Structure 1
Amino acid sequence: MADMKSEWAMWANEHGFVSGIVMLMGGITGVFGFDGYEFAAYTIAAGAFITLLEYPRSQRRKGSLVARRFQHILHPIMNLGGPITKNYYIRFVLYLLMSVPSIFTLPTVLGGASLFIAGLIYFKAALGGEGWHVDSMALARQKTLTNRPPANPPPRPPPQGAAKPDDNFTEIPLGNVSGQ
């Protein structure tokens, strides 16, 4: 276990993305028929911002990346965002502050609590020295792992109880068994 470090940023990214979607749904629910619709309207705006901020995934330390569909469109925006988009300490503080107004109405509590937890995970990632980065050239070079479908089916073991051809096995039909 000498050089094994957990990468918390990918967990924070997934949690933050889901938090943004939950905040959107809770905010939409909170606007209709609940007191404090101002907080719900804020939660809709915050959820949309967080969902867009968390949509692109960062590269791992090894350089590998499983990109989301159309993620490359948001890369220039993430690069222009500067420390707000790349520094995880700033995301930690931002998410903690953005989660506070979401706890004042019932439909938005779950999204606010989830965003608070995502902020804590980003703090753990920042303590580990992680930050958001994507090498655009590496994304262009990635290829699929399979070039063509397999030509032969996978090998299967023989069914259990199958008789081997060299055994002296005789089958007795059930109708001829005595003693029944």
Structure 2
Amino acid sequence: MRQIEWSMWANEQALTSALLTFIGGVMGITQVFKNWGFGLYGIIISILVGLFEYPRGKRMKGTTNERMYQRFITVALSKLGFFSQNYFIRFILYILIGVPCCFQLPIVLGGICFFCTSIIYFVAAMKGESWKPAGLEKPDRQGSQVVAGVVSNPPPVPPPRLPEDVAQSVLQRQMSGRRI
């Protein structure tokens, strides 16, 4: 059975929390709620969390599907070093972000989702995961991707492919002039 990568789930949860907080913040400043400052807080913090969580981290195994235009933000986040890579920091950050969201009704759901996000990041930190920038590897000239020192080229023939030994014997027959 494969190991769950908790950080991927936490990343999606944080973006969902930011979206819910943004919608609640807009409702909080346009409706007849008192304390409209919390609604403004919800809008500002949701934009910042959205920018912070938009780039996906590199997966431990397999390939990472990058989001559109994530490279620009990935470069900025990789400059933050320890603060962007450590999930214990994100755990504490999302608890602190979620507390003010509980003081106005429209953004309470976003605050609860931020608490859930912090719990998922805590589990990810306990499992030893950390954020690594994805998409900063440069492909070489032939289209192969260099990942962790291993060069992977695309397959030379489209599917269905023959087994390697059969393909070699077919190639030798073709070179010798015989028909298959």
| Range class of TM-score, shorter chain | 0.7 to 0.9
Q: Secondary structure at the match of 1:137?
A: coil
- Structural mapping, 1:30-41, within 5 Å: 30-33=28-31, 34-41=33-40
Work out the CA distance in 2 between the residues paired with 1:60 and 1:139.
Answer: 18
Work out the CA distance in 2 between the residues paired with 1:83 and 1:32.
Answer: 38
2:137 aligned partner: 137
1:16 equivalent among 5, 10, 14: 14
1:76 aligned partner: 75
1:28 aligned partner: 26
1:90 aligned partner: 89
- Tell which deviates more after alignment, 56-65 or 113-122: 56-65
Work out the CA distance in 2 between the residues paired with 1:25 and 1:84.
Answer: 27
2:176 aligned partner: none
Q: When you count helix as a share of all residues, which structure comes out higher?
A: 2
In structure 2, the CA distance between the partners of 1:32 and 1:139, relative to structure 1 (3 Å rule), is: farther
TM-score by length of 2: 0.74
Q: Which amino acid aligns with 2:6?
A: W
- Structural mapping, 1:39-50, within 5 Å: 39-50=38-49
TM-score by length of 1: 0.74
User: Aligned-pair distance for 1:138?
Assistant: 6.1
User: Aligned-pair distance for 1:73?
Assistant: 1.1
User: Aligned-pair distance for 1:139?
Assistant: 7.3
Structure 1 residues without counterparts, runs of 5 or longer: 151-180
> Does 2:54 match 1:65?
no
User: Aligned-pair distance for 1:83?
Assistant: 2.0
1:115 aligned partner: 114
Identical columns (%): 38
In structure 2, the CA distance between the partners of 1:25 and 1:122, relative to structure 1 (3 Å rule), is: same
Q: Secondary structure at the match of 2:10?
A: helix
2:3 aligned partner: 5
RMSD: 2.5
In structure 2, the CA distance between the partners of 1:24 and 1:73, relative to structure 1 (3 Å rule), is: same
Work out the CA distance in 2 between the residues paired with 1:138 and 1:108.
Answer: 41
The size of the alignment, in residue pairs, is: 146
User: Aligned-pair distance for 1:84?
Assistant: 2.0
Work out the CA distance in 1 between the residues paired with 2:55 and 2:12.
Answer: 10
Q: Which amino acid aligns with 1:89?
A: F
Q: Which amino acid aligns with 2:113?
A: S
User: Aligned-pair distance for 1:54?
Assistant: 0.7
- Whether the aligned pair in 1 keeps the contact of 2:78 and 2:133 (CA below 8 Å) is no
Q: Secondary structure at the match of 2:28?
A: helix
